[in-house]
Amino acid sequence: MLLQAEKSFFDYACDRCEAAVCERMLLFTLAHDLEEETLCLDCLAAHLDVPKLKMIASTQRYIQSRDCFKKPWMAFNPSLCPFKEDPSKTCCSAEGA
């Protein structure tokens, strides 16, 4: 069950487990060529069969190297993310955003 702060931050849900998904997590899914499905960090890592924190770091590097991903990534304000202090729950944690 999402708390009110989480409901106001997350606009999407994972197609597999219904976990909360923000706009940056949508970019993660697209960066891995998954256009038909929206996945949370856990489901994306499982789909790719890689450890979640390793997937977060490598995907962030990829996003930062491609303008088509970097521009929307930078335009999104993650400061209100209720998970920003927990590296296992947010795609922004490795960069300190």
Give residue 90's pLDDT: 74
- Which of 87, 86, 84 minimizes the C-alpha distance to 76? 84
* Sequence spans of domains, the chain: 4-95
**Whole-angstrom Cα distance, residue 97 to residue 92?**
5
Give residue 29's pLDDT: 93
Q: Give mean pLDDT in consecutive 10-residue pieces for the chain, a chain of 97 residues.
A: 52 88 88 92 95 91 93 83 72 55
Give residue 87's pLDDT: 67
Give residue 3's pLDDT: 46
